[in-house]
Amino acid sequence: MSTCTMSARWFRSLVFLLVNFTLLSLSQDMSTDSTPTSLRFSTYNLRYDSMPDNITVAESIAALPDPLVQETFLALSGEQPWSARRLRVSEHILSEDTVISGFQEALVRQVTDLAELFGDDWDWVGVGRDDGVAAGEFSPLFYKKSAVKLISNDTFWLSLTPFEPSKYPGAGSFRICTVANFSLTTDAKTTFTVLNTHLDDQSDMQRRVGASLILTRARYEAVKTRSPVFVTGDFNSPSTGNSSGAYEIITGASAPVAINATFAAKYDVGNQLSDFKMLDFRGQAPRQYVSNNFATYTGFNLPTDTSDWERIDFIFGGSNLGWTSDAYKVGSSLSDDGTLASDHRPVFADVTI
């Protein structure tokens, strides 16, 4: 056999091996890209630290009772200080294996306390709503670093001037929306966006403007990233009734109202996803995996008077999809001793991306 023939066969064999190796690598990459990943989201209005004290996290832990001794059932009633509530909040969120947690009404002490209690595998983004730094309440997004990686984040105000700290005329407070883009740690190509917010408790018009701003930004993110978009937060707007305007706007049942022209121009996507809206996870999850608890606001009274109970805290997913809602539940804030971790209940949703 000639040397030329041997060289040709060797060359063809090498090409064959390289082609098959390349095809195998592409197949593995495609398989990785298409593998669904399940994440647990939560949203929780913490009730701001209205009874501040100087008790540290370490002191609260040291004061915990003997775990083998039962305290008197329902011995406590009414609102308790944050120092008595924070361990229950962190224990609940961590025990649920949550990956993305949006909070509302968190003052800076509450944010730093949760960061300490959650540990090194967690980080967070957000600003104080009154000055864009640390003053006033935060609407922070906490995330588990072993599961997701932060790509970018920013904040805008739910007002007539959304690019600077500002309050909508007639609103009770400054209101903000925290935006974060994430990727999966297991697959950097799989990305998603979360917007976390707290709409006003006094002004229905602020809630409508806020929902319109959030929907505009969510639609922009859906078009820009071509990936799933989620909204978490306390809307102070139930799904039905006279004050449901913000809920109806975010879910596409009513048209958005006019918003700041500069904001609208910056996040304009033309006719793309013209029918975009946010879908309520409670209605998207399979019925057998939706919890019986309905109300997310209960106040600090023990469950004897339920006249004020409402569902105003939500987790939504964008209608551009790229996700499925696997389960939804409203947790409990009540402990056996009568302590309520908040006047709201936490909301959890299992999402497959």
Do 183 and 204 lie in one domain? The reply is: yes
Radius of gyration for the chain, computed over Cα atoms and rounded to the nearest angstrom? 24
Coil/strand/helix, residue 177: strand
Residues 255-305 have pLDDT tens digits of: 999 999 999 999 999 999 999 999 999 999 999 999 999 999 999 988 778
Region 126-146 average pLDDT? 98
Beta strands in the chain (DSSP E): 38-45, 100-104, 122-125, 141-144, 148-157, 176-184, 187-198, 229-234, 278-280, 313-318, 324-330, 347-352
Region 164-178 average pLDDT? 98
Rounded-to-integer distance, Cα 239 and Cα 280, Å: 10
Helix (H) or strand (E) holding 113: helix 108-118
CATH number of the domain within which 293 lies: 3.60.10.10
Encode 257-282 in three state secondary structure. Answer: CCCCHHHHHHCCCCCCCCCCCEEEHH
Domain count of the fold of the chain: 2
Rounded-to-integer distance, Cα 130 and Cα 138, Å: 9
Do 53 and 22 lie in one domain? The reply is: no
CA distance from start to end of the chain? 58
pLDDT at 12: 52
Do 11 and 111 lie in one domain? The reply is: no
Do 74 and 133 lie in one domain? The reply is: yes
User: Would you tell me how many other CB atoms lie within 10 Å of the CB of residue 336?
Assistant: 11
Instruction: Inform me whether the pLDDT recorded for 21 exceeds 70.
Output: no
Do 169 and 244 lie in one domain? The reply is: yes
Rounded-to-integer distance, Cα 95 and Cα 91, Å: 6
Residues 333-344 have pLDDT tens digits of: 999 999 999 999
Domain residues for 279?
A: 40-352
Instruction: Inform me whether the pLDDT recorded for 6 exceeds 70.
Output: no
Q: Please give the model's pTM, rounded to 2 decimal places.
A: 0.90
Which has more confidence, 79 or 6?
A: 79
Nearest to 159 by CA among 192, 197, 121: 197
